[in-house]
Amino acid sequence: MSPRSLKSIGGKVGTGFAITVLLIWSLGPIYWSVVTSLTSPTDLISSTPRFWPSHVTFEHYARLFGSTSLSQGNEVQSVWPQFSAALINSLITSAVATLLTVGIAAFSAYAFVRMRFPGRDLLFVLVVATLAIPAYTVMIPLYRLMISLKLVDTYLGVSLIYVSAFLPLALWLMRSVYQAMPLSLEEAAWLDGASKLYTLVRIVMPLAAPGLIAAAIITFLNAWGQFLIPLVFSPTLATKPLTVLIPEFVGRNYVDYGLINAAGIVAIIPPVLVVLLLNRFLVSGLMAGATK
Amino acid sequence: MLSFIGPRRRHGEVGLGLALVIPVVVIMGGLVLFPLLSTIVDSFYRINPMRPGTPFTGLANYAELMKDAAVQRSWVNTVYYVILAVVLETAGGLGVALLLNKLRHGRRWLLAAVVLPWCLPPVVNAVVWLWIYNPSYGLLNGMLQASGLTSGSVVFFNDPKLALLLVTIVHVWRMMPLTAVILLAALQSIPEELYQAAKLDGAGALKSFRLITLPLIASGLAIALSQSTVFAFNLFDEAWILAGSSLDTRTVMIQVYMLAFQNMKFSLGMALSLLAMLASLLVSLVYVLKVYRETRYD
């Protein structure tokens, strides 16, 4: 064999090895969590780790979703009341935050790109500059503000904080989407007598749909994963999301790892679906947001 | 460009433009800018719901932060997290981006697998890793023992240095995908002809990486570096889930949270969060300037 083809085989093996390592690194922990959630409590405390469950059991999921369940022969209270409330809270706050953020960004980013009004550029720079300010920095005065407005532990309060945290990124993204669109289409519509708003809603937005989807995905994932904000602003089950509830399953002396992994797997279903179904939009959105 | 549109139309445009950005002004002004300004102002007062009055105290909060041993420890930990996380994320992210850029088949699916950890709630990530790190039945201990590296189970979080490293790994697991995606976007913008020309001129892989790739991904690198710095500076979730309020792993953000929401020392927490923000902005600025200066072509 010539040295050249040897080298190319070597390169292929190296690439294959790198891909394998990367896949194990990225997916291994998630796979391990799935296995754990399907393993019976007695098998979990065996001395040797098993890479697949020897007897698949759904008892951890039954404790999340059932009314009561059996654990080692004893009937125990399931966590369904708390779990379902937190699941619904997560869905509502993330959905409201996503709709508001993308709705506001879709209109105002267009104004920042195509309309002239006093203070336009200064305002945009100010808003985007807050990307560098994590919501945590302003959390303490925000807490006092939300208390005085009686918005602590309400869907509106939590969603509004999410909007203020994720709007700059969505604006940045949508501005780069609108900037990349040809002006000629809009000019043609204006010449035909269409109003600016009509042109935006009926002609520009459908064309900007991939960008809008990307902004929605990124906002949703960010809101779904938030922990510190709801830890402060969602003290009770009225608005407490899964991310705050799940760590509460970690007891002081005893951690029910089967239950906590099962709950974690349920909590990652929406993000996993997004990655599987909408990966194209997500990646293009992340790239556009990062490079423009 | 729009000169054919009459002045009347222009006037309407100003009104509509302002109307469309009003929600942005209200939300960002009310929930970010105003709280930021009041953070700055209030950090010079004593604000504590447990004590009467809010007297002006000048720099007393800042002086107290300087003396507090827990605060100092949290700064040291945070600096450690930032350095380690930024180095690991940048090195790993660059490797992943180069690998993905080289692939012709299946890039989309590998990219989906790579991005996945970034998409998951940090809390769930931390919980999953908490189980992996479990001293008695965890995967890490199991693998270490199976490979004969250790005998008996190790309680990893008993070693402060190790604890910091383990928290960082969880953070890197989540944040490296973002660096990889940013750098991949930068790599894809490099025209293929440049590499062919370099090859014709006899440049090896390393040389063309140094002379073509690195300068052309510099701006992406600056963005990736400042992203990872800001996120590492604000590390909270992973450290809180893995080790709670333990001093060994406590970050500045955890310290802020504890000062404000557990000890009710609001203004002390505000002063500290302000310092943390300034520090992370400053470091990001240094990268941006340095990367631009070193790779600029004149």
pLDDT (tens digit per residue) in B78-111? 999 999 999 999 999 999 999 999 888 888 889 9
- Asked if B132 lies within 8 A of A46 by C-beta distance, the reply is no
Per the document, the length of chain A is 292
In CATH, what number does A81-291 get? 1.10.3720.10
- Asked if B128 lies within 8 A of A224 by C-beta distance, the reply is no
Give residue A103's pLDDT: 96
- Average pLDDT value for chain B: 86
Tens-digit pLDDT string for chain A (292 aa) = 566 676 777 778 888 999 999 999 999 999 999 998 888 877 777 766 677 777 788 888 888 887 666 655 566 667 888 899 999 999 999 999 999 999 999 999 999 998 888 888 889 888 888 877 776 788 889 998 999 999 999 999 999 999 999 999 999 899 989 988 888 888 888 888 888 888 888 889 999 999 999 999 999 999 999 999 999 999 999 999 999 999 888 765 667 888 889 999 999 999 999 888 988 888 888 877 665 4
User: In chain B, whose CA is at the least distance from the CA of A105?
Assistant: B24
Interface of B with A in 120-179 (CB under 8 A): 120-125, 127-132, 134, 136-139, 142-143, 146, 173, 177-178
Give residue A72's pLDDT: 59
- Asked if A291 lies within 8 A of B220 by C-beta distance, the reply is yes
User: In chain A, whose CA is at the least distance from the CA of B254?
Assistant: A228
Furthest CA-CA distance within chain B: 83
Among candidates B30, B137, B185 on the partner chain, residue whose Cβ is nearest the Cβ of A44: B137
In Å, how far is B88's CA from the nearest CA of chain A? 14
- The three-state secondary structure class of A75 is strand
Among candidates A139, A168, A196 on the partner chain, residue whose Cβ is nearest the Cβ of B16: A196
- Which residues in chain A have Cβ-Cβ distances shorter than 8 Å to B74? none
Among candidates B108, B122, B236 on the partner chain, residue whose Cβ is nearest the Cβ of A279: B108
| DSSP β-bridge partners for residue A70 | A75
Give the sign of the dihedral formed by CA B165, CA B170, CA B173, CA B176: negative
Complex-level ipTM beyond the 0.95 threshold: no
Chain B interface test: which of A40, A137, A243 (most B C-beta within 10 Å): A137
Q: Are A242 and A263 in contact (CB under 8 A)?
A: yes
Give all domains of chain B, ordered by start, each with its CATH number. Answer: 68-295 (1.10.3720.10)
- CA–CA distance, B216 with B198 (Å, rounded to integer): 14
**DSSP label of A58:** -
The CA-atom distances, in angstroms, between A239 and each of A83, A152, A167, A262 are 12, 9, 21, 21
**DSSP label of A68:** E
Give residue A1's pLDDT: 55
Tens digit of pLDDT for each residue in B209-268? 888 888 888 888 888 998 898 899 889 999 999 988 889 999 999 999 999 989 888 889
Number of cross-chain residue pairs from A and B with Cβ atoms under 8 Å apart: 271
- Asked if B28 lies within 8 A of A27 by C-beta distance, the reply is no
In Å, how far is B270's CA from the nearest CA of chain A? 7
Question: pLDDT higher for B69 or A2?
Answer: B69
- Which residues in chain B have Cβ-Cβ distances shorter than 8 Å to A283? 111, 115, 181
Which residues have a Cβ under 8 Å from the Cβ of B174 and sit 6 or more positions away? B117, B118, B120, B122, B125, B238
In Å, how far is A118's CA from the nearest CA of chain B? 8
Residue written as tokens 């409330």?
A85
Chain B interface test: which of A12, A15, A24, A26 (most B C-beta within 10 Å): A26
Distance of CA B205 to the CA centre of its chain: 31
Residue written as tokens 């406590």?
B250
Q: Flag whether pLDDT at B77 surpasses 80.
A: yes
Interface of B with A in 69-108 (CB under 8 A): 95-96, 99, 102-103, 108
Report which secondary-structure segment, H or E, holds B158: none
Band the pLDDT of B2: cuts 50, 70, 90. Answer: very low
- Asked if A36 lies within 8 A of B241 by C-beta distance, the reply is no
**DSSP label of B247:** T
Buried-state track A167-178, b at ≥16 Cβ within 10 A, e below 16? bbbbbbbbbbbb
In Å, how far is B9's CA from the nearest CA of chain A? 10
Give residue A14's pLDDT: 86
Q: Are B126 and B170 in contact (CB under 8 A)?
A: yes
Tokens of B64: 């107290």
Chain A interface test: which of B27, B32, B251, B277 (most A C-beta within 10 Å): B32
**DSSP label of A136:** G
Q: Are B143 and B176 in contact (CB under 8 A)?
A: no
Which residues have a Cβ under 8 Å from the Cβ of B40 and sit 6 or more positions away? B274
pTM of the full predicted structure? 0.90
User: In chain B, whose CA is at the least distance from the CA of A259?
Assistant: B127
- Asked if B36 lies within 8 A of A271 by C-beta distance, the reply is no
User: In chain A, whose CA is at the least distance from the CA of B96?
Assistant: A22
Q: Where are the domains of chain A?
A: 3-77, 81-291
- Which residues in chain A have Cβ-Cβ distances shorter than 8 Å to B241? 247, 250
